[in-house]
Structure 1
Amino acid sequence: MISTSLIDTAYTTIRQQILSCEYMPGSLLSIYKLAEELQMSRTPISNAIARLELEGLVVALKNRGVMVKEISSKEIIDMFEVTFAHQMYVLELVEHSDLYTFNMNELKNILDQQLKEKEQGSYFEYANLSLSFFRSFIATAKNNVMLQIMDAHRDKIVMTSVANYKLYPQQRYFSGAHYNGAIYEALLVENFQKARQLLNEWRQKTRERVMMSGSF
């Protein structure tokens, strides 16, 4: 019987290394080497890899090992388009109904932490917090399906963002915190038109960066 805790440990460790791009997209992984590194048998490693494949983070290649999946620019743009559409929808809800209100304290806490990670140069945490800001924003709608979609996209967006950060050191963008901060200030005074404008600007910049160099 395989220990569930061993599988969970292998899964969590390998997943973290993929998302932080210690294993870059397109790189080949060996179950034998992973087992050696984590000091486990191959069985829990194989189970962990199967979970990661279901999540779309790796692809098993027959007789070649496991490849960290490369996410296409088209897929990244599509995921961001869904996220922006949800954010615009949430703005409409809040503006026209008293039943929905942003958790401003949570948004502020996320923003403050993101700025701290920016100062420390921790891009992985910075990117994660940018997605946390989006998620808190969307959670205002109290729509679990929207949150499930956000969660399904999150890992791929973070992984691609960190990979591009490492691949293109001359194009290191930290504009997410700028826009998140400006959006927060607009929401604070209930200037929904300004928030829409900022979201549209950020959407356009994201599309341009992904299409031109893959960096965003």
Structure 2
Amino acid sequence: MANSNLIESAYTYIRNKIRAGELLPGTLLSENELAEALSMSRTPIRAAISRLETEGLLATLKNRGVLVKEVSLKEAMDTVELLFIFQKQAVEQMKDGGEKPDLKRLKELIDRQLEAERHNQYSRYLESAMEFVGCFTRVLNNTAISRIVDISVEKLVLYGTVNYIRTPHEPHYSANRQHPSIYEALLKEDYDAILQTITDAHNRNQQRMLRLARI
């Protein structure tokens, strides 16, 4: 296996553990333990850690190890605000006759979200819901925005997973109501309805994040 493949394997392993809530914020990781668990040298482990640091998921602490970072409430709310701006921009572009999102892919992601809720697989739900946002905003055809969206998605998946673990009795899976509404409006090319849906959802999400932060 090429070194680049080892790096990708280590990156995916650590990221998936974080996404699934198996490595919670505050957890200290060891390069040696990761290398042993993955049966590889520390070189690809370090490269994977560096990549995850760039994405804001890890931080190297001198002589202590690697810390799984907490996504703060402000950081999460700022990220949600940024994605909201990109989604509005995508809708306005569609209204002006621009590119439309891949409807088949959006439907597949909605189906995955709904299935994840039926089986109480919150991590899978979050990944699908965030991928829906990425697919929706991809119509902007802007590489810089796509990179920002990808990093934002990683942060919100982590924040959402931790929030789900900490507030198990609160209602979750809100995108399972929002995204089907967006999809149906896309079929009708009702862009005002889409804008209203994402605006209402954004306002609810901001209020909910503030409320849950006080629990």
Whether TM-score is above 0.5 comes out as yes
AA in 2 matched with 1:67: L
The aligned residue for residue 28 of structure 1 is 28
Q: Distance in 1 between matches of 2:133 and 2:54?
A: 24
Shift in Å, 1:214: 4.4
DSSP 3-state at the match of 1:124? helix
1:115 aligns with 2:90: no
Q: Distance in 2 between matches of 1:89 and 1:47?
A: 35
The aligned residue for residue 85 of structure 2 is 85
The aligned residue for residue 188 of structure 2 is 189
Q: Distance in 1 between matches of 2:99 and 2:42?
A: 49
The aligned residue for residue 19 of structure 2 is 19
Residues 14-60 of structure 1, C-alpha deviations (whole Å, 9 max, x = no match): 12111222100121112232233223343433332222222221111
Q: Distance in 1 between matches of 2:143 and 2:34?
A: 35
- Runs (5+) with no aligned partner, structure 2: none
DSSP 3-state at the match of 2:66? strand
AA in 1 matched with 2:138: A
The aligned residue for residue 53 of structure 1 is 53
The aligned residue for residue 70 of structure 2 is 70
Aligned residues: 213
AA in 1 matched with 2:44: P
AA in 2 matched with 1:31: E
The aligned residue for residue 38 of structure 2 is 38
- Cα RMSD for the two superposed structures: 2.0
AA in 2 matched with 1:115: L
Q: Distance in 2 between matches of 1:168 and 1:16?
A: 21
Cα 1:39–1:101 change in 2 (3 A) is closer
Residues 145-204 of structure 1, C-alpha deviations (whole Å, 9 max, x = no match): 221211121111111111111121111401111100111112221222221111111101
Identity value in percent: 36
Greater Cα offset, 46-55 or 189-198: 46-55
Cα 1:50–1:146 change in 2 (3 A) is closer
Q: Distance in 2 between matches of 1:123 and 1:105?
A: 23
DSSP 3-state at the match of 1:67? strand
Q: Distance in 2 between matches of 1:34 and 1:70?
A: 20
Cα 1:90–1:9 change in 2 (3 A) is closer
Cα 1:6–1:132 change in 2 (3 A) is closer
Report if aligned partners of 1:102, 1:137 keep a CA contact under 8 Å in 2.
yes
Q: Distance in 2 between matches of 1:44 and 1:146?
A: 28
AA in 2 matched with 1:187: L
Q: Distance in 2 between matches of 1:143 and 1:40?
A: 36
AA in 2 matched with 1:44: P
AA in 2 matched with 1:64: R
Q: Distance in 2 between matches of 1:127 and 1:15?
A: 14
